[in-house]
């Protein structure tokens, strides 16, 4: 079998057209075997700038076999430096569950077919890390009147499982902002600056929401019709627990932009715990450029590099970046040596330093 989660270049998005109406052509032998799982990540569609009446809908997922490697699991536990004997029974259960996500066997070269809107689409083959990613070109008639497009993977005859995904559909004429949000210490309590606590909070403990942030985001969605995108240095292997956290805590649904993590050598787990500047900047720029007519709100914290990333983006896109909110977890001040220098060329009314969600003015969502 192929190495675990090897690093590969991003799979280029192709523009696909329907293969056939659902049912016709679905007799293909699915590449998904009985011991393999398909996981689809929540994505979004956007109006095509080059062709009125057409929407570009992204499909992104991965295929893997739930084959656990005890050796890799043991190496990961050693790398994390977590003593299982010091954990509660509940913490140990979470540790085993979350580490298992890193030891699955990713399947490469698997070209799936999905059924969406009554039609079938063939997707490109998965890469060495099990991920597949592409863009479908859909007529406006297929998306009109819907808030999301559900779809399912075509499986082999007799396979009764259902692997489902969905594409979020913001209104074509929506004028609300794009909210691009960090996760760790912005909406989820992670204690990033304390590496020992970060490991425990990530792998051994239930995720906890930053107080007040879910109601704030809900208000932006309800009142200002905001569209949400979650950009984080967390690895794709944690998508399931993170997506469950978002739903259970009442945060709005959104697209996900996480980090590919190479596990051929388990010591590279440090890449997850290290800087994410390049990854986050690229992800945010892609979102900004995909929705060129929408104002942007950037939400992050002062714990790592969000101030540096956001200040740079505010100067790259001065007409697009509408607001910047930074949760203060490091005792910063606006005129201090860090923020004062970073934001010296950013209009002061554009950015806010806050400690509690209640400090964010209600009008900052528009």
Question: Are residues 216 and 277 located together in one domain of the fold?
Answer: yes
Assigned domain for 34 exists: yes
Q: How many CB atoms lie within 10 A of CB 200?
A: 20
**CATH at residue 224:** 3.40.50.1000
In angstroms, the CA 63 to CA 39 distance is 6
For residue 285, is it within any domain? yes
CA distances to 41, 129, 163, 297 from 154, rounded to whole Å, are: 17, 21, 8, 38
End position of a domain, from candidates 168, 201, 222: 168
Give the residue carrying structure tokens 């109601």.
215
Whether residues 128 and 209 fall in one domain: no
- Domain of residue 62, CATH code: 2.60.40
Residues 305 and 337 in one domain: yes
Q: Does residue 157 sit within a domain?
A: yes
Residue 265 lies in a domain: yes
Instruction: State whether 111 and 58 are in the same domain.
Output: yes
- Looking at the structure, do residues 151 and 187 belong to the same domain, yes or no? no
358, 292: one domain: yes
251 and 217 Cβ atoms separated by less than 8 Å: yes
Distances (CA, A) of 66 to 36, 199, 311: 7, 24, 42
Q: Which domain holds residue 152?
A: 15-67+104-168
Q: Which residues pair with 151 in a beta bridge?
A: 116, 165
For residues 150 and 295, membership in a common domain is answered with no
In a domain, 96, yes or no: no
Q: Give the separation between CA 5 and CA 253, rounded to whole angstroms.
A: 27
246 inside domain: yes
Q: Are residues 209 and 261 in the same domain?
A: yes
Q: Which of 287, 83, 300, 359 is nearest to 182 (CA)?
A: 300
Stretch (H or E) spanning 242 = helix 239-249
**Burial of residue 365 (number of CB atoms within 10 Å: 0-12, 13-18, 19+):** buried
Contact 263, 5 (CB under 8 A): yes
Could you identify the residue written with the tokens 């059924």? Answer: 115
- Looking at the structure, do residues 48 and 189 belong to the same domain, yes or no? no
Same domain, 198 and 347: yes
Q: Is 1 within a domain?
A: no
pLDDT at position 268 is 52
Asked if 119 and 182 sit in the same domain, the reply is no
Token pair 């910063």 in the structure block, residue:
332
Q: State the pLDDT at residue 281.
A: 94
Last residue of a domain, one of 148, 168, 188: 168
Please state the domain count of the chain: 2
Rounded distance, CA 218 to CA 264, Å?
40
Q: Outline where the chain has alpha helix (H).
A: 70-80, 89-100, 140-143, 195-203, 213-224, 239-249, 270-273, 277-290, 306-316, 339-342
Does 28 share its domain with 127? yes
d(CA 239, CA 165): 13
* Helix (H) / strand (E) containing 40: strand 36-41
Residues forming beta bridges with residue 150, ordered by sequence position = 166
What span, in angstroms and rounded, lies between the C-alpha atoms of 226 and 170?
9
Determine the Cα–Cα distance for residues 92 and 77; give it in Å rounded to an integer.
11
Residue 314 lies in a domain: yes
- The residues of the chain scoring below 50 in pLDDT are 1-15, 17, 24-26, 265-267
pLDDT tens-digit map of 136-189: 999 999 998 899 999 999 999 999 999 999 999 987 667 899 999 999 999 999
The helix/strand count (H/E) of the chain reads as 10, 17
């Amino acid at each position: 079998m192929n190495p675990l989660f090897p690093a590969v270049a991003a799979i280029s998005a192709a523009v696909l057209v329907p293969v056939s109406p659902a049912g016709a052509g679905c007799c293909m032998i699915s590449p998904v075997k009985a011991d393999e799982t398909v996981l689809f990540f929540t994505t979004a569609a956007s109006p095509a700038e080059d062709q009125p009446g057409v929407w570009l809908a992204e499909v992104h997922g991965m295929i893997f076999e739930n084959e656990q490697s005890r050796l890799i699991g043991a190496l990961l536990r050693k790398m994390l430096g977590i003593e299982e004997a010091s954990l509660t029974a509940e913490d140990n259960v979470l540790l085993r569950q979350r580490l298992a996500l890193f030891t699955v066997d990713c399947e490469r070269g698997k070209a799936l077919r999905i059924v969406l809107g009554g039609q079938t689409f063939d997707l490109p083959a998965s890469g060495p890390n099990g991920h597949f990613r592409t863009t479908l070109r859909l007529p406006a008639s297929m998306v009109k009147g819907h808030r999301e497009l559900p779809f399912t993977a075509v499986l082999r005859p007799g396979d009764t499982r259902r692997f489902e995904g969905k594409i979020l559909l913001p209104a074509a004429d929506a004028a609300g902002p794009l909210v691009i949000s960090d996760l760790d210490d912005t909406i989820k309590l992670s204690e990033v600056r304390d590496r020992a606590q970060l490991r425990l909070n990530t792998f051994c403990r239930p995720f906890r929401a930053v107080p007040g942030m879910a109601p704030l985001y809900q208000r932006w969605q309800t009142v200002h019709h905001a569209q949400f995108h979650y950009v984080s240095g967390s690895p794709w292997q944690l998508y399931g627990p993170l997506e469950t956290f978002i739903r259970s805590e009442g945060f709005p649904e959104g697209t996900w932009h996480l980090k590919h993590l190479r596990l051929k050598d388990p010591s590279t787990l440090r890449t997850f715990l290290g800087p994410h500047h390049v990854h986050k900047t690229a992800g945010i720029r892609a979102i900004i450029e995909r929705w060129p007519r929408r104002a942007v709100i950037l939400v992050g914290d002062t714990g790592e590099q969000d101030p540096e990333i956001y200040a740079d983006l505010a100067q790259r896109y001065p007409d697009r970046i509408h607001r910047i909110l930074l949760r203060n977890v490091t005792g910063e001040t606006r005129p201090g040596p860090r923020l004062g220098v970073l934001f010296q060329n950013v209009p002061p009314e554009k950015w806010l330093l806050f400690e509690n969600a209640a400090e964010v003015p209600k009008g900052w969502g528009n």
